[in-house]
């Protein structure tokens, strides 16, 4: 097998979403951005709408979502979506009408302690991965129609450098037996976000649907409000060591937008992007300190991705 080169773009860590979209006309593109009531999601929605896309803000807090939509120049609408509630996800997907060209799975939660959904699932995995998994599979036909319109439909799965901390523990996904560590739980969910992109592309590329995962980088958002002292200390230590630097919201949304619109990622998926480029792969025992812009093998492994899809289907769809 001939090794391929990594996909590169003209953009970098300092690029903004608006810079990525300069000269790009998204008229006719229908997009969904989850978690668009604040932070990176709101910035992503704003940038896409400014480029001409019709953007649906899929949010748990519809009042906050409407405030964001009111401030956006372009065509937007707000729809309720609680990713931790499978019934809410089902209603959203069932209510969607017409083609879908772009799904940005941006929403995420961080918990300071063990929380569970009504199904008994660990909240971070349930929200960050299972909710988005059910949403994407529920919208598959709409995405396929979108691909018929424009030659492809794209899914952007927002992961994190946190994936470097843990793979997916199939023996105890929901921390029933092992001691709960919120950082490991978050890491597991972010690895799952990347694995979703791998398997979704394998299964759906024939339908013109391609998924990629992105690390937006470090941005000060509401996501950190539930950090424990230990989590805050870990973040501060990473910043002091130079493995973590804060970006602006515009810079944080840039890599998402690259995966969403850049021609370099047309009709290709299963990649993990960092700082607007495809990231290089590192062994599972590599340290985050040494490879803050890498992606671990366990986050791209095809066999693991396929297993996660099977397990997720049983959980999300019974």
Catalytic (active-site) positions: 186
d(CA 297, CA 283): 6
Could you give the CA distance from residue 158 to residue 108 in angstroms, rounded to a whole number? 9
What is the spatial distance between Cα 300 and Cα 130, in angstroms, rounded to a whole number? Answer: 18
User: β-pairing, 153-158 with 209-215?
Assistant: parallel
C-beta of residue 157 within 8 angstroms of C-beta of residue 212: yes
What residues form DSSP beta bridges with 211?
155
Q: How far is CA 56 from CA 76, 97, 240, 267, in A?
A: 6, 12, 38, 23
Chain centroid to CA 51: 21
CB burial string 49-74: b at 16+ within 10 A, e below: bbbbbbbbbbbbebebbbebbeebeb
Rounded to an integer, what is the distance from CA 173 to the centroid of its chain? 19
* 197 token code pair: 């992109």
Please tell me the number of Cα atoms within 13 Å of 132 on its side-chain side.
33
Alpha helices (runs of H) in 205-289, residue ranges in sequence order: 229-241, 249-261
The answer to whether residues 167 and 191 touch, using CB atoms and an 8 Å cutoff, is yes
């Amino acid at each position: 097998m001939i090794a391929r080169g990594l996909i590169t773009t003209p953009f970098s860590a300092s690029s903004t979403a608006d810079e990525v979209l300069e000269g790009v006309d998204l008229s006719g593109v229908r997009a969904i951005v989850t978690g668009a009531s604040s932070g990176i999601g709101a910035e992503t929605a704003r940038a896409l709408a400014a480029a001409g896309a019709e953007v649906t803000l899929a949010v748990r807090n519809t009042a906050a979502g409407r405030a964001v939509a009111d401030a956006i120049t372009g065509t937007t609408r707000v729809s309720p979506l609680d990713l931790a509630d499978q019934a809410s996800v089902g209603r959203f997907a069932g209510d969607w009408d017409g083609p879908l060209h772009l799904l940005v799975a941006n929403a995420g939660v961080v918990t300071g302690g063990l929380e569970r959904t009504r199904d008994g699932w660990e909240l971070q995995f349930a929200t960050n991965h299972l909710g988005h998994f059910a949403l994407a599979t529920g919208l598959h036909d709409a995405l396929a129609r979108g691909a018929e319109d424009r030659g492809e439909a794209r899914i952007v799965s927002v992961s994190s450098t946190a994936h470097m901390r843990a793979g997916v523990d199939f023996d105890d996904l929901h921390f029933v037996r092992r001691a709960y560590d919120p950082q490991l739980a978050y890491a597991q969910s972010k690895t799952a976000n990347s694995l979703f992109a791998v398997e979704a592309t394998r299964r759906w590329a024939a339908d013109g649907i391609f998924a990629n995962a992105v690390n937006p980088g470090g941005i000060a958002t509401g996501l950190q409000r539930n950090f424990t002292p230990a989590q805050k200390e870990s973040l501060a230590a990473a910043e002091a060591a130079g493995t973590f630097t804060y970006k602006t919201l515009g810079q944080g949304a840039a890599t998402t937008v690259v995966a969403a619109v850049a021609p370099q990622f047309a009709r290709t998926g299963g990649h993990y992007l960092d700082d607007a480029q495809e990231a290089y792969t590192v062994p599972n025992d590599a340290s985050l300190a040494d490879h803050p812009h890498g992606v671990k093998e366990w986050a791209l492994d095809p066999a693991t991705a396929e297993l996660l899809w099977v397990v997720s289907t049983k959980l999300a769809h019974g």
